[in-house]
Structure 1
Amino acid sequence: MSALLTRRQTLASIVGGVAAGALSLDRAKAAVSELVWATWDSNAHPEYVDPFKKETGTAIKLSFLSSEDAQFAALKTGAAKDWDVVNPGLNGTWRYIDAKVLQPLDLTKIPNRQYMYAPFKDTDKVVGKDGKTYAIPYLWGLNPIVYRKDKYSEEPTYATLFDSKYKGQLAMRDYALESIAVAGLFIGVPRDHVFTMSDAELAEAKKALIAQKPLLRTYWQTIGDLTNLFATNEVTCAFSWRVPFDALRDKLPMGMAKPKAGIFGWSDCFAIPATLSDDKVAAAHAFGNYLLGADYASAIAEIGNYATSSNIIRDKLTHEKQEAIFVDDLSVMNSFMWPVAPPNYSAWLKIWNEVKAA
């Protein structure tokens, strides 16, 4: 028996008021033939967004990101003129708001927001100093260590990623915030202090990362690339997203470790660039509402093993599926380490560039 009800059954159970709201949004943006969504490749398979086109007539063109920092830089420099909807990470959203590269959202045009879990709905990380909301968390999960069970006698920890025994088999993400934080945990910085490290601690983290660099097969940028490296036996352990575990566990002995030092939680947000033309704004809001709705939640839970920030389908999932996407025990939302870009993040970026150049 499927872990999910059919999409038709799920949608039939959604209250009429939300359906009516969605129809009004559809009419408002009917003239828009296409929106370009800048997001991660794991968030946006065509089957995740095809229902939006069927329901509204607006196609979603996918533009995949290489890094959070590259997305921010593109918006700040004006190099992202083709993007209609963007994907800032929850804990770095303040950078986008302060840089004035996002426009405030009209929450009345996103009725599915009422179904959001409280930690995401009530977060102040997406609210500007003007009191306006500039982004909405729509997807979340954790970033584990993914590894080959047949290559490791014990479950890996962050120390494994710095162990010369596994030279050439390791991979780290090409992302300053998480990679420097991993190094901080490795050198013993407490989890509640790792995103506010002192200059001395950052210097030690930098030393650890420079020593680690020769041990790595690569710094990965897209999760598809990392999955391929696991599939071809070029990488056996990596700080990762869960995608390689899910994609390969039926073919290879894959494991997913959750280090006791701290598990990195993540949340992606829906946001609209400040430069978006007025004729597309209603369509962009309608797409934001779709990301909190039953179609997207059903597809990404079934195919991608991810949970949205909405509880709209939670009670219709089997316990096994709830457990797989971490919504069986909702307290987990409060136990993750949520990466926070510190005020001195420019110093972190400088360190990261120096590590990669070493």
Structure 2
Amino acid sequence: MTMGSMNRRRVLAGMAAGAGLTVLGSGRAAFAAPTELVWATWDSNGHLEYVAPFEKQTGAKVKLSYLNSEDAQFAALKTGTASDWDIVNPSLNGSWRYIKGGVLKQLDLAKMPNIAGMYDVFKSTDKVKDEAGNTFAIPYLWGLNPLVWRTDVLSEEPTYSTLFDPKYKGQLAMRDYALESIAIAALHIGIPREKAFTLSADELAECKKALIAQKPLLRTYWQTIGDLTNLFATGEVTCAFSWRVPYDALKDKMKVAMAKPKAGIMGWCDCFGIPAGLADDKLELAYAFGNYLLGADYASAIAEIGNYATTSGIVRDKLTKEKQEAIFIDDLSVMQSFMWPVAPPNYSEWLKVWAEVKAA
């Protein structure tokens, strides 16, 4: 789930066993006095139980400031209306505008040694760097937007082309979102994932034809993940492009599974960033928190409670095979198929196509 205005699954369970404190070595960090760190993040990423080990080690309190949308986060940083934020949460694909907008501080990577444990696909990304190669954000949490499907209805694991198959007319659902839906049509008609978000006018026209042909096959275009979950629960939908939420909500009640199409997997990734105006006396604590997000304690808690994976493999081998599968790290080759949705320069044309598809 890049997560824009997405509020991912709220976690209510208790604290999972951590894998040992990892921030600034062992023992209590020598900050002058307990202080407060305000973390602007999504409600699924930040809970008291997720940050308790950090608070215990440093003596600092982490205040959680939940975001409503990435657009609002960027605007608040740009206008200076969120001067109390000490840590912010740009998306991997949205980091470029924060960097160009001058609202993030250039990071000193040496102050976050847990970066060494990051998976290469995140460690090597240029999406968090400026043109000179300086780093302004660190990917820390990620996930996939899979196909959710009923294993007792479909005879085999679905692909994106399943969403265009007349055999399942009336049982399919797509998200009401031009960017992802048009890209899925592109993959369906054979356009490689490297070009799925940079379509030519002719390719965009072919995607439009495919989506218009698909429309009578759909039960709905879903707008909220709660609505889609209910459609699965009532048996009205048996396969859909989705977030993982319906699977988590229904896996103990009905036969559902998640598919990761080989053609390309839509991913989301959240990043750690420091506002450009953060006071110098808070920098040490901010870096310690960034390091913590890549450490074992946060990774263990959010895997066990929230069913999400951090960008570090630090606890991977300590998780059960079932948990690894649930958070998509059982088979790391999946990372070779990542697609990070990015609106193209001609996105207004995409929106026009999407409006014409829905009106057809």
Query: In which range does the TM-score fall when normalised by the shorter chain?
Result: 0.7 to 0.9
* Among 59, 66, 69, the residue aligned to 2:62: 59
* Among 19, 22, 34, the residue aligned to 2:26: 19
Quickly say closer, same or farther: Cα 1:314–1:258, change in 2 above 3 A. Answer: closer
Structural mapping, 1:1-358, within 5 Å: 7=17, 10-11=19-20, 18-19=25-26, 23-24=29-30, 27=31, 30-32=34-36, 35-39=38-42, 41-55=43-57, 56-65=59-68, 84-163=86-165, 169-209=171-211, 212=214, 215-221=218-224, 223=225, 226-233=228-235, 235-274=237-276, 281-333=283-335, 335-339=336-340, 341=342, 344=345, 346-347=347-348, 350-351=351-352, 354=355, 358=359
**What do the CA deviations read for 1:224-275 (whole angstroms, capped 9, x no partner)?**
5544553454543221222322332111111212224323344322223445
Quickly say closer, same or farther: Cα 1:129–1:169, change in 2 above 3 A. Answer: same
Q: Distance in 2 between matches of 1:224 and 1:103?
A: 37
Question: Contact between 2:219 and 2:236, CA under 8 Å: does it hold in 1?
Answer: no
Quickly say closer, same or farther: Cα 1:284–1:220, change in 2 above 3 A. Answer: farther
Quickly say closer, same or farther: Cα 1:79–1:179, change in 2 above 3 A. Answer: farther
Quickly say closer, same or farther: Cα 1:69–1:171, change in 2 above 3 A. Answer: farther
Task: State the shift of 1:11 in Å.
Answer: 0.3
- CA RMSD in angstroms comes to 3.6
Task: Give the 3-state SS of the residue equivalent to 2:194 in structure 1.
Answer: coil
Q: Distance in 1 between matches of 2:135 and 2:341?
A: 18
Q: Distance in 2 between matches of 1:327 and 1:205?
A: 32
Q: Which amino acid aligns with 2:109?
A: L
Q: Which amino acid aligns with 1:312?
A: I
Q: Percent identity?
A: 61
**What do the CA deviations read for 1:6-27 (whole angstroms, capped 9, x no partner)?**
735x206x5x96236x724xx2
Task: Give the 3-state SS of the residue equivalent to 2:197 in structure 1.
Answer: helix
TM normalised by structure 1 equals: 0.77
> Unaligned stretches of 5+ in structure 2?
1-15
Q: Distance in 2 between matches of 1:348 and 1:100?
A: 29
Q: Distance in 1 between matches of 2:357 and 2:79?
A: 23
The aligned length equals 342
Task: State the shift of 1:297 in Å.
Answer: 0.5
Task: State the shift of 1:142 in Å.
Answer: 2.6
Quickly say closer, same or farther: Cα 1:42–1:204, change in 2 above 3 A. Answer: farther
Quickly say closer, same or farther: Cα 1:122–1:153, change in 2 above 3 A. Answer: closer
Task: Give the 3-state SS of the residue equivalent to 1:245 in structure 2.
Answer: helix
Quickly say closer, same or farther: Cα 1:188–1:249, change in 2 above 3 A. Answer: same
Q: Larger % of helix: which?
A: 1
Q: Distance in 2 between matches of 1:121 and 1:308?
A: 12
Task: State the shift of 1:298 in Å.
Answer: 0.4
Task: State the shift of 1:138 in Å.
Answer: 0.9
Question: Contact between 2:180 and 2:341, CA under 8 Å: does it hold in 1?
Answer: no
Question: Contact between 1:142 and 1:263, CA under 8 Å: does it hold in 2?
Answer: yes
Task: State the shift of 1:135 in Å.
Answer: 0.9
Q: Distance in 2 between matches of 1:137 and 1:304?
A: 18
Q: Which amino acid aligns with 1:259?
A: P
Task: State the shift of 1:328 in Å.
Answer: 3.9
Question: Contact between 1:171 and 1:217, CA under 8 Å: does it hold in 2?
Answer: yes
Question: Contact between 1:37 and 1:62, CA under 8 Å: does it hold in 2?
Answer: yes
Question: Contact between 1:178 and 1:339, CA under 8 Å: does it hold in 2?
Answer: no
Q: Which amino acid aligns with 1:203?
A: A
Task: Give the 3-state SS of the residue equivalent to 2:152 in structure 1.
Answer: helix
Name the stretch that deviates more: 191-200 or 52-61.
Answer: 52-61
Question: Contact between 2:197 and 2:344, CA under 8 Å: does it hold in 1?
Answer: no
> Unaligned stretches of 5+ in structure 1?
1-5
Quickly say closer, same or farther: Cα 1:185–1:138, change in 2 above 3 A. Answer: same
Task: Give the 3-state SS of the residue equivalent to 1:94 in structure 2.
Answer: helix
Q: Which amino acid aligns with 1:89?
A: S
Task: State the shift of 1:128 in Å.
Answer: 0.8
Q: Which amino acid aligns with 1:19?
A: S
Question: Contact between 1:28 and 1:282, CA under 8 Å: does it hold in 2?
Answer: no
